[in-house]
Structure 1
Amino acid sequence: MKKLIFLTFLPIFSVATVNDGGWTTEEKDLVPQKEKCNIERHDAAELTQKEFLKRYAFSEPVIIYNVDNTEFKKLTEKNEMLSVWRDVDVTLNSANTYSYTRVPTTFGKYIEEKMKPQNLEMLGNETLYLFGDIDQKIWKPLLEKYHQPDWELPGHTAALSFGIAGAGTGVPFHFHGPGFAEVIHGSKRWFLYPYEERPDWNPDKTTLEWYTYDYPKLPRDKLPLECEMKPGELIYFPDKWWHATLNIKSSVFISTFLSP
């Protein structure tokens, strides 16, 4: 199915509170894990458009590092965002695969009241988080500051989807068209399978529950491609690749979805 590019296991150490741009995460809420990455990684400065099309665009995921979005990162620090966007309306979505609950609120209420770490007792269809469901016109002043990926798919247009979520949250396995996803603050683990190797999961349970109970039981030949992404890193996933995400800590992230 997939080739093993590299595999590392390193212990994760943390302090009592992790603070990334003001997006704090208590140590007890960090998702326990060891660092492991078996997705090919490529320096942004060295990946040409020609190589991207030849090696990755239609065949396999790649993580691109040394991506510079310094200005956008400053604009999405917690205090900065609350000072500008506190009273702006947003819509929260449920974190399950096939059905979606939508709950209107304001950005400030979400950040200060509703954005909480995931717990194992909650189902995905009971977990609400902010991702994508924002008014593009209202949020244009922020989104236009994001430097979109330099690599393109011919004949495709790009649409941005912005999100913020607490530790342990994430989206269970699903698939759609190709795209890029970048971590701005925090960290997020990705799990991927090609379309023909459909993973086994409960679409109404959370990625955290799958990772805690099902993932450790997977045989070696059923393990996914996976990697933890940190600020300054961008993942590309081809069309119709199954993928699930898991926020290791409170995270700010943005995706660039490509459509013909």
Structure 2
Amino acid sequence: MRRGLRRPMTPWTPLLLLILLPSAIRGHSDCLEEDGGWFTNRYTAPQEEEYCSVERRDASLTYAEFIEQYAFSRPVILRGITSNLAFQALCTKKMLLQEFGDRIVRLSTANTYSYEKVDVPFQEYVEHLLKPQDEDTLGCGSGTGVPFHWHGPGFSEVIFGRKRWFLYPPEKTPEFNPNETTLSWLANTYPLLSEQDRPVECTIRPGEVLYFPDRWWHATLNLDTSVFISTFLG
């Protein structure tokens, strides 16, 4: 029987509850250091932003401060809230293929006009379809992402890889074509934007959690093959 570690409760615990399984770490330390076996084609990766315009806060941020300063008004990157080493061990390429390799996953371009869906076994997706994306060809690794959209508030945590975010407040609709990829938008539209029309942007790395408020427009771009978790709040 595996036991979870008991940790002091903080204001964040209900929002970012991780069940820590220390036994899962054994034998996987090398794999964790090598990005869980997911990292491929670093040389093809798009670049990070020149300047991250999202504030970073650590575990000293109180619940009251979060509500007052960020919950309804602006994004924030949270780090050092909890350890995710055990969860990382469960999300290595080897472990996920072992556990879910025969499961069927559904692929789409993930934008407003995506109607065609493709169902494939997870193992086939990883071994044959997981490759970098360019502007003209859809891929499943670095260069992929979700075009601009909005919904309720949420958290996104990176487990492996790096994920670049572009965000606009609800009152400022970004200029984009929903039929084009984020990579294409970055190459063709982003350079033409004036300073005041640039998005709020940042790149989050393993162990960091991005919070974005309700109805904020956002698009994402995976700079590497990335494993991440998003939690949307009702």
Q: TM-score, normalised by structure 1?
A: 0.73
Q: Which has the higher helix share?
A: 2
Q: Is the 8 A contact 1:35 1:228 kept in 2?
A: no
CA distance in 2, matches of 1:32, 1:60: 24
CA distance in 2, matches of 1:107, 1:185: 18
**Aligned: 1:66 with 2:66:** no
Which residue matches 1:118?
A: 133
Which residue matches 2:156?
A: 181
Which residue matches 1:86?
A: 101
Q: Which of 35, 40, 46 pairs up with 1:31?
A: 46
Equivalent residues in 2 for 1:197-212 (5 A)? 197-212=172-187
CA distance in 2, matches of 1:99, 1:93: 6
Q: Which has the higher strand share?
A: 1
**Aligned: 1:246 with 2:221:** yes
Q: 1:196 Cα deviation (Å)?
A: 0.8
CA distance in 2, matches of 1:19, 1:241: 34
**Aligned: 1:51 with 2:65:** yes
Cα distance 1:183–1:114, how it changes in 2: closer, same or farther (>3 A)?
A: same
- Which segments of 5 or more consecutive residues in structure 2 lack a partner in the other structure? 1-32
Structure 1 runs of 4+ with >4 Å offset: none
> Any idea what SS the aligned residue of 1:204 has?
coil
CA distance in 2, matches of 1:241, 1:100: 24
Q: What letter is aligned with 1:121?
A: D
- Once the two structures are superposed, residues 77-96 of structure 1 have per-residue CA deviations (whole angstroms, 9 ceiling, x without a partner) of 11111122111122122232
Aligned-pair Cα RMSD in Å: 1.6
- Which segments of 5 or more consecutive residues in structure 1 lack a partner in the other structure? 1-17, 129-164
Q: 1:40 Cα deviation (Å)?
A: 1.1
CA distance in 2, matches of 1:55, 1:220: 24
Q: TM-score, normalised by structure 2?
A: 0.81
Q: 1:197 Cα deviation (Å)?
A: 0.5
Which residue matches 1:256?
A: 231
